[in-house]
Structure 1
Amino acid sequence: MINAPGVSGDVDVAIAGARAGADVVRSMCGQRLDHIDKGAGDFATTADVEAERAILDVIGAARPDDAVLGEESGRRGAVDAGRQWLVDPLCGTLNYAVGTMLVAVNVALRDGAAAVADPFSGEVFFTDGATSWVRNAGSDARLTPTPATRLVDVNLDPPFPSAPGFRAVDLLSNPDFVEHFRPRVVSTTLALAWVAAGKRAAYVTDGGDLSRSVHFAAGIALCRAAGCTVTGVDGAPVGETGRGLVVAADDETHGLLMSMIRSRS
C-alpha cells in the first residue's frame, strides 16, 4: 500500500466528515435508540441524527460558505452557493437498527471530492474525482474494479418506478442472470464502494435521478473515478434524464446486465 498523492483540500474534508460520522455510528451501535418516523415505512434513529451533526460540524468548520444537503436536516446555507455537500450519515438504517453491521457514511461535494466510510471495518473509500482509493490502518491503496467475484448487489427495496417494465428484483428470476452472476443484497450503498474496490462485480437499483441523491452521490463518484461503467437502468447517463443505476466493474459485465434488463423491459 502507498499513500494517495495530493490528498488535500476538499478530499480531506470529505474524509474527515465521513470519519466523524462513522465514529458516532460505531460508538452508538448496540445502544437503545429512539426511532424517528419519516413516513412510508422509513425511519431514522438518534444515531443518524448525531452522525449527521458531527459531519456538518466538520464541513461547517472547514467550508463555512458551502451549502449542505443532509438526509436528516435538509438544506443549509445560501440558496445561490456555488458548492453543495451531499450527506447521508447512515445508509442502511434498518440494518443498523437490528444489529446488522452493513452500513455506510456518505459525504460528497457535488461534482467533486467524495468519501464513503465503513464504520465497522475502518475502511474509508475516497476520490478527488480523478482517482479512487481506500484508506485503512493509515495506508492507502488504489481501487481496482474487477468482475472476478461475479457477485452482483441488487436493491430490492420498493418503490419500483420503472415497473411494470422493469424491477430490479426481476433479475433474480432471469436464467441468464443466474448463469452468469451470484446475487447479493446488503441494503446499503456500501455496495457501490465494493464495486469500485473489486469486492462486487456490479450493483443495480431502480429509481429516478440518483446523481444528486445523498444516498448515491458519493458511491457514484467513487465508481466513476475508479473506471467503472456507470449508467441508468435505461442505459442513459446517470442524471435528470436517466433512471436508476447500473454500476459494473467493466463494459462486458455492464453489457450483460443491460441485455437482461432490456429483455425484461
Structure 2
Amino acid sequence: MINSPVSQGDTDVAIAAARAGAEIVRTRYGQRLARFDKGDGDFATDVDVAAEEAILDVIRAARPRDAIRGEESGRRGPADAVREWLVDPLCGTLNYAVGTMLVAVNVALRDGPAAVADPFGGEVFHTDGDSARVRRDGRDTALEPTAATRLVDVNLDPPFPGAPAFRAVDLLAHPGFRQEFRPRVVSTTLALAWVAAGKRAAYVTDGTGLTESVHFAAGIALCRAAGCVVTAADGGPVGPTGRGLVAAADAETHGLLLSLIREPLGAGPGRRG
C-alpha cells in the first residue's frame, strides 16, 4: 500500500482511540467474560469486541473517510480509502481472561502515528512518526531506550512459521543468550512499548508481515521513532516478506541477538563485540 498522508492531529486521534479502548478493558476487568472461539486454542471475549467498538467510534468520528482494520471486526470504511487504521483492542486476551494485568491496546495509522495504551499501568505510549513519548497523568515524557536491564522479551506463542531456520523459543536454550540476557515472557506486545521505554533491552518474535499486523504495527512504530534498532530475524527489513522481528534498544544488543539467532544451538557462548 502507498504510504498514507498524515494529517495534523492524527497522533491525538490515535491516543484518544487507545484510551477509549483501555477504559473498557480496565472497567470490565474481573467480570465474567463471554468467549468466542477463534480456533487453534485462541479466542476473543466480549471485552475485546466492546473495546474495539469504542476505538472505532473515536476513529470514525474524527476520520470518517479512513478505513479501519480491527482484529475482531475486520476491515470497515470506504473501499477506496487511502488511509487505514490498524486496531488490536486487547493484546493479551489470554492473560486478561485469567486475571493477569499484562495487556495492551494498540492503535496505528498505517505508515503514520500510533499509540499503545497500558490499561492498568495508566500509560499511553505514542508516536507522531518522528518522536516517541509516554503520557502519564496528562504529561508527556520522551522515551529513552536502554539495554541496561538486559531483559529480553521473547514471544513463545506458536505457530512457528520460521522453523526450522528460526524459532524465537530456541533462544532460551542458547548458552550465549543465558550468559548475556535474562528472558521474560509477558505474552503481549506491550513488551515492544517497553523496549522503546527502556524497560526491556529487546523483543524477539517469529511471524511474517508484522508491520501490517494489528498486533505489531503500533509497537514497531514506537520502537522506530524512539531510535531502537528494528529488523527481521535475519537482519533484513521488517515488511511484508520479512520473517520474524528483533527490536533492540541499541545496535550492540541487536547485533548480539542476531549472532545468537544465526549461531547453531550448542555452538558455545556468544561474545560481545
What band does the TM-score fall into relative to the shorter chain? over 0.9
Matches within 5 A, 1:49-198: 49-198=49-198
Aligned-partner SS, 1:207? strand
Amino acid at match of 2:127: T
Measure, in 1, the Cα distance between the counterparts of 2:24 and 2:189.
18
Measured after TM superposition, the shift of residue 79 of structure 1 is 2.5
The answer for the alignment partner of 2:269 in structure 1 is: none
Look up the match of 1:232: 232
1:142 and 1:182 map into 2 onto residues whose CA distance is 26
Q: Secondary structure at the match of 1:18?
A: helix
Q: Cα offset for 1:264? A: 3.5
Instruction: Give the distance between the partners of 1:213 and 1:166, measured in 2 at CA.
Output: 20
Whether contact under 8 Å (1:166, 1:264) holds in the other structure is no
How far did 1:166 drift?
1.7
Please list the CA deviations of residues 32-84 of structure 1 after superposition, one character each: whole Å capped at 9, or x if unmatched: 01000011111000000000000000000000000000000000012321100
The CA deviation at 1:165 is: 1.8
Aligned to 1:43: 43
Could you state the TM-score of these two structures normalised by the residue count of structure 2? 0.93
Using the alignment, how far apart are the partners of 1:62 and 1:43 within structure 2?
A: 30
1:8 Cα deviation from its structure 2 partner:
5.7
Partner of 2:268 in structure 1? Answer: none
Q: How many residues align?
A: 259
After superposition, the CA RMSD in angstroms is: 1.1
Contact persistence 1:88–1:106 (CA under 8 A) = yes
Per-residue CA deviation, residues 170-229 of structure 1 (Å, 9 max, x unaligned), is 001101100000000000000000000000000000011101000000000000000000
**TM-score between both structures, scaled by the size of structure 1:** 0.96
Mapping for residues 248-259 of structure 1, pairs under 5 Å: 248-259=248-259
CA apart distance, 1:112? 0.3
SS in structure 2 of the partner of residue 69 of structure 1: strand
Distance 2:173 2:39 in 1: 31
Q: Using the alignment, how far apart are the partners of 1:99 and 1:217 within structure 2? A: 26
Kindly provide the amino acid, as one letter, of the partner of residue 258 in structure 1. L
One-letter code of the match for 2:30?
G
Secondary structure in 1 matching 2:263? helix
The secondary structure found in structure 1 opposite 2:44 is: strand
The 1:53–1:93 alpha-carbon spacing in structure 2 relative to 1, beyond 3 Å, is same
Q: Secondary structure at the match of 2:243?
A: coil
Q: 2:56, 2:147 → 1: CA distance?
A: 36
What CA distance in whole angstroms lies between the structure 2 residues aligned with 1:39 and 1:129? 35
Give the distance between the partners of 2:18 and 2:212, measured in 1 at CA.
18
DSSP 3-state at the match of 1:233: coil
The answer for unaligned runs of 5 or more in structure 1 is 1-6
> How big is each residue's C-alpha offset from its partner over 1:91-141, in whole Å with a ceiling of 9 and x where there is no partner?
000000000000000000000000000000110000000000000011110
* Whole-angstrom distance in 2 between the partners of 1:105 and 1:51: 9
